[in-house]
Amino acid sequence: MEHEGLDALIVCGNQYAGFEGAVLYTSGFEIVHRYVYVLIPLEGEPTLVFPREARWIGDKTKPWVKDQVWPDIPGQWIRERGGESGWKRVGVYGMNFIMAVRDYRELCNGPFELVPFDFQFDMARAVKSEEELAEIRDAMDIILDGFWALVAAYEPGKTEAEVMAPAVERFFARGAGPRMMNILLSGTHGEAEASFKVPGHRVIAADDLLLYSLEITGAGGYWVEFSRPLIRGRLSARSQAMANAYPEALEAARKLMREGELASNVHRAIADAFARHGFALGHLSGHSIGATMIEHPAIGSKSDVPLEENMIFSLHPQVVDKDGKVCLYTQDTYRIGKTEGECLADVPWKFFTGEEAAVRVAD
Read off φ and ψ for residue 217, nearest 5 degrees.
Answer: -120, 165
User: Nearest CA to 131 among 266, 239, 291, 363?
Assistant: 291
- pLDDT higher than threshold 90 for residue 363: no
Q: What is the pLDDT of residue 281?
A: 84
Q: What is the pLDDT of residue 35?
A: 97
Q: What is the mean pLDDT of residues 157-165?
A: 98
Q: What is the mean pLDDT of residues 341-346?
A: 97
Residue pair 294/18 in contact (Cβ under 8 Å)? The answer is yes
> Residue ranges per domain, the chain?
8-124, 130-362
For the domain bounded by 8-124, which CATH number is listed? 3.40.350.10
pLDDT, one tens digit per residue, over 302-319 is 999 999 999 999 999 999
Same-fold call for 8-124 versus 130-362: no
Q: What is the pLDDT of residue 352?
A: 97
pLDDT, one tens digit per residue, over 106-133 is 999 999 999 999 999 999 999 999 999 9
How many contiguous H segments (helices) and E segments (strands) does the chain have?
9, 19
What is the C-alpha separation between 189 and 69, in angstroms, rounded?
56
Q: What is the pLDDT of residue 220?
A: 95
Q: What is the mean pLDDT of residues 347-360?
A: 90
Q: What is the pLDDT of residue 122?
A: 98
- pLDDT higher than threshold 80 for residue 25: yes
Q: What is the pLDDT of residue 359?
A: 76
pLDDT averaged over the chain? 96
At the second CATH level, the architecture of 130-362 is: Alpha-Beta Complex (3.90)
Could you tell me the pLDDT band of residue 64, with boundaries at 50, 70 and 90? very high
Q: What is the pTM of this model?
A: 0.95
E strand residue ranges, the chain: 8-14, 35-41, 47-49, 68-69, 89-93, 113-116, 183-187, 192-193, 209-217, 223-226, 229-230, 280-281, 286-288, 295-299, 312-315, 318-320, 326-329, 332-335, 342-343
Number of neighbouring beta carbons within 10 Å of residue 186: 21
